[in-house]
Structure 1
């Protein structure tokens, strides 16, 4: 058995992470990956295909493929065993069980590229499989250091010893003070009212000496329990240092300081002012949710557009979350319906009855005698997930194009957007990077509002709402001459209550009789565009 390469690829044959074990050129390897999607069939979980040169042994993992490229003389049984082993150890990287791996995305795979390469190298060396188990690979990759553990233990011991010495010194101070008070040399001032200079003076007293076994303490009863005081001192340090409210003089803001702050604001600096504690408290105590049952449909759209036209990435991830306040309302089934979109793949929570959802579009636990989990947080508990990937540009809710052109000492920039009639967009923010200039650009025309951040050299174009009245809009401005690539990448963020899944709750059915609890449902799609 000789493994030529191991790779994670998307369904279009693009390699996200690849590990080669033989001398092979990048062009040839990319050719193997590009030809792979044309060779595979549908309706199979894991299998292999062969060409004239190599054999592909692969396993689908969600919308990605784990591929082993081997020679045709390799033992297919060993190849499949190696594939299963790699599938198990790579799932350790994402800290997920294999059935949840379909929810990883390209960004997460790229972020964990080196960790994936490490576990692959533990299983395969020089193209040959190593005799290791999943537990051994996990232990190798954890890289536990006994020296580091020993260092942490010693550090904790030193901290504990230092704390004990502090308590012992405080006890000596108390006893010395009590002896002085009895002899008439002291005052009635307690340790709590002593300043740091007086405590330091007492600590340097020669009567408080140290020996090899610790500190020697003068005989005599203590005025009060110093250990209890020291513990309470550290716990109440914030209260002890808090300023008291007084009626003394107050400093009025200097006019020069105000002018300086205004100049900072003009240059794009964010100036935060002090907030009254009462206001902070009122914001922290938000009113609790009042509806017994809440269902939230949340979708996230990530799109990458090319500046010369075309679509590089179009990915939608969605969640249906349930929030129940009282356990008596948790014995129920949720019936849903969605738009008939074949590109969307749904995945239920492991505790949900999959057969019930497939046949009746109803979400319920496998054990009807168990209640659904209650949750007080605003996020709720996720019951259903879905994902959609496409390269159909007509399905996008929003498109944008940028046309920079240099004319003499000036660069004219024209940006145009177009919104789909299926979506009403809110809080649209288009951020355009500009060359470093001290003055704001000369804006000749704009549909909406704009601001220029001098600190980051970013031009922000904002539209509060895009509906049937403004499906198309543009902005035109000019800046000093600059390279056209300076104005990319352009980022766009917006929200909308329209979703790709069209998922909504039709009915809630209680399982133990009684009236149907009152419920509310909300839907939100958050989009993140990049024009490169």
Structure 2
């Protein structure tokens, strides 16, 4: 069998979409397509017509023809099978109603689909699903990456809302304090808001830090660049920011509860001073898990770090005291500049006690790694059970949290070839028709819902493998290695130094295959 060309033509012979598969001139192809309507007689039941040189195999579709032009030596049964496959592919790319306009608008997609069905004039052994998958170039890794990015974007939006409410709450409290007339704030002392920009992207902290320096210290040091700040007289921008959020449809609620107070009550329009921590520590951990759909673990890998960031250079000579859990199978490694003897006592400090840590940038001082196939170590197990009953496919999927801490923002993505009917679900769900994916979401897993399940059904007998791989993503404010910061002390006086510590666990790849 050799297919010379595949086309969608009108009854007048106008080619809406045409793809040739052999080396033929354009005039030759146009001549063959123009001759076709004259050869098709009215009232005939045949699906093909022959000339001296070629055979036309066609199928009527909504006042048009889906047409294959082949040589006369080709097998008519294979021609008809190819035509049937192309007739099934066509509705996947052309939205109803099928007319000239919709055909032309989907011309490029149809050309690519024709190339998947026929290669160099010969039919490929493919199904409609494979054709659609190949043309869309769908990647499960890309889907998972986009889900992670979307989750981070949503987390950032939530953080912006919380910070906006904190700003509004501080403004309300400062206004109340101004009305009571109890302010002893000195108006001659300028105030500024300094927002730290030097943290890493994973430790983004938008909390404004309010400072009221003494006027005697306002003279800049020699060679020092002047500091820039946002004047409190422009605090009205916070209200403008809230109004813009409301205009975009965001629901902003202002908490009128008690706010933090300072030793000196500020006047109206001035926010109380909130001290910034000179040391910040980020305990970040990522997990890669590949689960088998029939049970067991193909691979589980955990990687974590402690990153130290010094905000104030006068506190750069410090030591970090930490503790870990039982940590079976975990391998720990310190930064080359960390004292190994101190590390043996769960203390992270420089080998050279006089050497300070760098200021303004995060420095990884401790790393750990663990790799296992032990199913008991997996923080969240997923079991998916597809089954067929008649012309319907039933899918039961359940989760079980084996971690002894809470998980947030859980998303389970199940490939689903058509919109499902969900009979039962613990949490929420959403069907993405464009990606043909059912998204099962649970905001929080704690002691009240360590186990959960969902059941859905689709109205076709689907291959059980079509519901895999299942992609999972979640986050937590805890680490699997159970690493914790106990305290931070100065090198000289061994006195505690104020610090902030944040733990973050996220999924890099988490699949059931």
Give the TM interval when normalised to the shorter protein.
0.3 to 0.5
TM superposition score normalised by structure 1? 0.44
Q: Comparing both structures, which one devotes a greater share of its residues to helix?
A: 1
TM superposition score normalised by structure 2? 0.45
